[in-house]
Structure 1
Amino acid sequence: MTKKPESTPTEIEKQIKEGKQALEMAKEVVVVENKSAEFASTYDEDRDLVNRFIGRGQILGAFKKIADVTSIMDWKRMKDSKAYQSLSSNPVVSRSTQKLVTVTTWASFCTHVIGVSRERADQQILNLEAFGADALDTMNKAGLGYRDFRKLRKLPEGDQQAIIGEVEVSVGDKEAIIALIDDLSIKHRKEKEKLEAKNAKLSDEVEYQKESREKDEKSKQTVIDNLSRELGRQKKLTVDERTQELEKQLMDAMEHAITQMGMLELAFSKISEWTEAPKRLHSLSAFTLGKLEERVKEYRDSYGIYPDIDPHDSSRKKDSAGDTPEAQG
């Protein structure tokens, strides 16, 4: 009997690898099959939902002009899941034209199957999402209209709850409910306008402060630029040019100071000639002269400027011992 050849380690490893690959492929097939079944199940559910809705509409459509909350909940589900697309291969009788049509979009589903415009259907779904099924059912029974719901959705949640509570208490009194909605809408609009005006004012203030900062920064930069240019110009001046410039600056300042001193002397003269001048005017005159003397002394001490210094003698320095009258005494 011929002996069967033994498998080598390499062949065994190859067989194990191929077995693992086959197992993974089998798992992937199972996943795909499960997803396909899940999709088919979902598709069947969507199609059943649409078919039930169409059947119910055919039975009740002639007697029912206002959609109940159950129908609106079905609208929302069919819109969210796109269940209406299951009709793309099956023409239906349009509720608006009574002719066979193909439905492929939410808008066409609203028009031909639900029997309302897309806008109206979407508004009803918004009402359901905003107020819930119970509150929406109560308000529908109270006779609230499209515009009333639109106003109500714009109100703050607290006002919405107040109106829902009023609807539950005042079922049948439609006018009172609508009046409350209108009153709260006006109140909300005024509060909104007031808040917008406040925000606009704050925005203007922020913009003004921003412009002021930019203006200040620009002004500071201008000063810095001017000082830099002046410093550069000063460095280029010769000794004689700089001396002449400072002499002119001193003379101009002195002429201006003498003019102002003349006005001050005129005030002193009038006070002196007024025999009945109040004492506080004399006190103010003394105070004014005292301030001038303080400022003159401050200049002398700060810059070493004393009466006995020859303005043409450049050898005298502020820290010289003989520069002050006290040192000379």
Structure 2
Amino acid sequence: MQNKNATFKISYKVRKASFVCIFCFICTVSANAFGHGKALSSHTALSSQTAHSEQKTISSTETTSTHKAHSHNESLSDHKAHNYKEPLQQKTPATATYLANEGILISTDKVKVLFDPFFHNDYNIYQLVPDETLKAIMNNETPYNDISAIFVSHAHGDHFAEQDMLDYMLKHSAVELVAPAQAITEMQELSGFEKVKSRITKIELAYEEAPISFSVNDIKVDAVRIPHAGWPGRADVSNIVYRVRLPHEMDGNKDELTFIHMGDADPNDKHFRPLRTFWEAQKTTVAFPPYWFFLTNTGNYILDYRINAEKSVGVHVPKQVPVPLLQSGKPYFSKPGEVMEIGTEVK
């Protein structure tokens, strides 16, 4: 991110284990000390997915390598390794990779999810996902490989492209889609929809309806409808705020990381205050609000005190970063391909 943005990095140390070997002979005693270090590489275990038998509609009514002391290749007796310590096992940190606008890839060592990845309308203001990134996503290339689920906030052209979404799901038969009914309606008109509908969770929520909770394989999801910015002028737009809990393991410690993706939410506490108990029930690791939350006192209050988030990183930033945002000192994504590392604690 830009030099005013917060960068979160976690460093790891791999300890060297020293061995001292004492060899006893009948007439002479010689001592040889040698050091042996072995770095462990991190790997990612990805959970597998199975397709559901039918389309789901949800509404408010319903992983040390074993280290062994090497025997000396000569016929020496009484060979021992002293003061051996098991090397610290490393795990890949969780990351957030910026696609463009409000498109984000969240990766833990267990799962990967995408938010608002496919869209083609920039309204001559916002960033578009680079062609090479779209190609990598479609072709299941690192780091966009083995996606577990995709979440769509709302059906506007700078957040959602129905044909791209259908093409992706047809090509990747294990991916689940969670999206508001308005987006799914657009997909239903396309040839091939019947082949993917069993892997779609359709969100149908009215304004002020209670949040809903459900699971998509190993991902725990809370969803609530918060009006689109410009309220009440865009009251008809079903903008869904997602709070997702993703399984993650760091240095042998199993944990969950929680993320909020806010879509184009309106920064008015009228929408958030009645949900006080909902926000307080779950601490969020990182929230991704549209940048305009940083520009008003009420928006900052919602981020700092209302939604129970440890850190907020702005998205939906125009190509020309607004001067008030530059002056705010707040962290934000603005260049496609930016990566933020996230630990079990965000500082």
TM bin (shorter chain): under 0.3
- Find the structure with the greater CA-based Rg: 1
Q: Which has the larger helix fraction?
A: 1
Q: TM-score, normalised by structure 1?
A: 0.19
Structure ranking higher on relative contact order (CA contacts 8 Å, 6+ apart): 2
